[in-house]
Amino acid sequence: MRTLAVLYLLHALAYCSEPSFADDATYDILIRNGQIVDGTGNPWFHGNVGIKDDRIVAIGALETSKANHTINATGLVVAPGFIDIHSHSDFLLLEDGNAQSKIRQGVTTEILGEGRSAGPFLGRLPARNVSVKGERVKLRRLSDYFAAVELAEVSTNIASYVGIGNVWESVMGKSFDRPSEAQLEQMCNLVDQAMTDGALGLSSQLMMPPGSLATTDDVVRLCQVVAGHHGIYSTHIRNEGTEVFKSVREAIAIGRRSGVPVDIIHLKIADEQFWGRMNEVIKLIQDARDEGLNIQANVYPYTRGNNNLVSIIPPWAHEGGTTELLRRLKSPEQRKRIKHDIVNGVPDWYNHYTAVGSDWSRMLVSANNSFKGLTMDRVMALRTNENPTADRIEELMDFLIEQNGSVSTVFAHHTEKDMNLALSQPWCSVGSDGSAYAIDGILRRGNPHPRNFGTFPRVLGVYVRETGLLKLEDAVRKITSLNAAKVGLQKRGMLKEGYFADVTVFDPATVKDQSVYTDPFLYPIGIRHVIVNGKVVLADGEHTNAHPGNVLPGPAVSVR
């Protein structure tokens, strides 16, 4: 593991150094005659982009035609590579580094580690073993994962937060006990270590354990460590439904008290009781910004979210992990209590069941089981032989037992109107909340959410071209420079001389997602060329099998 760590450190130091360019005007790649949208939000202009090694070295008329490789971009948009600020490709990239469903969307950088990250696995959280090119690798620190990615070789750049779930369970295990002062200090030390390993900041998933066990004061304390390294706090807020206003206020308070920038993950109102009140959520954030607090948010351009069916089970039943959860689901007495809490709710708990109006038809199985692609009303009907009097919640618990306590599920829980209002805010960017799947091979699994295949082309096709909600230049800013600025990526997210050559070329007249909930395994159309660190990864819509992606270090490493 020392060898892997040294490999990562050497790469990080190389990343921080400035390039030196030869005086001749020869380019490795010349993109000609494109409609350049540079990521700043400024108006587009026609021109050429010259690339040498891993950098953009010239933008403009560029009369010279001396280039090793020329891309004709006539009629096409030339933009910075898209930055997915909310990605879950952490371990899929180690299985297949081509990152097909991301590259084919124009994504050149993935930000990983929401709530849980690929490290640390220390203390009471067992080390995780992964296979990299047939070699068994043990992950303990986040730096081990970064080194594993370098060893694996991948097509996209990656960066990562450190997840509060890993930090909490490394100290507390599966216990729901309150941490002692000494244990909280241990958590702070783990965050500090992860930041020095290269984390961008702390991420939290406060909706379910273990993140939900952390109080506001706990999160503030951890974020104060992050602030010392000039990092960010990225948060899936505690309750996106009945307590959405309270939860947004908590995120703002954490930013105010700790001094860190805050990015709220996939901002939404995910309970029909509060649909139509996104303007109130926006006002909370804008008022905080007017106060001088750096509070921002991101969204994915869909009205359905992806979580686990087990999230319908109240938090207390999860203590002790899956084994204890299954034991409770099998206990007649515990089942009565679980059923009561599902129907009636628990204070401060985001209840997915009531959020969708207790409507099983608004839950779609995306897990890789025999019911994948079916809504839960159909699953229930099939399991009960169409018996209309069968107890659906009892059936839910039996289903979870059979599936070992985990069923990935798509929930229809928020509205287009609210989502559009959030997306149109200048501080709201776009992230997929998806992973790098593929339409064939080992990464064709289950019935995944369409956002895994179509997020960024959907923004450009639906919300720019079809509805006109966003101007082209602003949409590109939301998926490039705005995300880079939020997490502090250096020399990424814009087409600018001296910046890394991450470039996406697309057809503005045709670009669009094709993946749908019942048929997700479809790549988008209109993404023509993708360049990562000066290497062509997508050429005329075909993956080249190039793996030029790098690990992008967080602020504690990049300033060394």
Secondary structure of 79-121 as H, E, C letters = EECEEECCECCCCHHHHCCCCHHHHCCCEEEEEECCCCCCCCC
**CA separation for the pair 213, 462 (Å, rounded):** 39
**CA separation for the pair 444, 446 (Å, rounded):** 7
- Domain definitions of the chain by residue range: 80-303+414-537, 308-412
According to the model, what pLDDT value does residue 25 have? Answer: 52
Cα→Cα distances 106→101, 166, 531, Å: 9, 30, 9
Give the number of other CB atoms < 10 A from CB of residue 444: 14
According to the model, what pLDDT value does residue 34 have? Answer: 97
pLDDT in 10s for each residue of the chain, 560 residues: 554 555 555 555 555 545 444 445 589 999 999 999 999 999 999 999 999 999 999 999 887 678 999 999 999 999 999 999 999 999 999 999 999 999 999 999 999 999 999 999 999 999 999 999 999 999 999 999 999 999 999 999 999 999 999 999 999 999 999 999 999 999 999 999 999 999 999 999 999 999 999 999 999 999 999 999 999 999 999 999 989 999 999 999 999 999 999 999 999 999 988 999 999 999 999 999 999 999 999 999 999 888 899 999 999 999 999 999 999 999 999 999 999 999 998 888 888 888 888 999 999 998 888 898 999 999 999 998 888 888 999 999 999 999 999 999 999 888 999 999 999 999 999 999 999 999 999 999 988 999 999 999 999 999 999 999 999 999 999 999 999 999 999 999 999 999 999 999 999 999 999 999 989 999 999 999 999 999 999 999 999 999 999 999 999 886 54
Tokens representing 251 are 């995120």
Confirm or reject CATH 3.20.20.140 for domain 80-303+414-537, answering yes or no. yes
According to the model, what pLDDT value does residue 343 have? Answer: 92
Residues in CB range of 210: below 8 A, 6 or more apart: 164, 165, 168, 169, 172
Are 188 and 223 in contact by the 8 Å Cβ rule? The answer is no
**CA separation for the pair 188, 224 (Å, rounded):** 9
According to the model, what pLDDT value does residue 20 have? Answer: 45
**CA separation for the pair 457, 464 (Å, rounded):** 10
According to the model, what pLDDT value does residue 11 have? Answer: 55
According to the model, what pLDDT value does residue 15 have? Answer: 53
**CA separation for the pair 460, 454 (Å, rounded):** 10
337 phi and psi angles, rounded to 5 deg: -65, -45
According to the model, what pLDDT value does residue 385 have? Answer: 86
According to the model, what pLDDT value does residue 560 have? Answer: 46
According to the model, what pLDDT value does residue 348 have? Answer: 81
**CA separation for the pair 449, 9 (Å, rounded):** 35
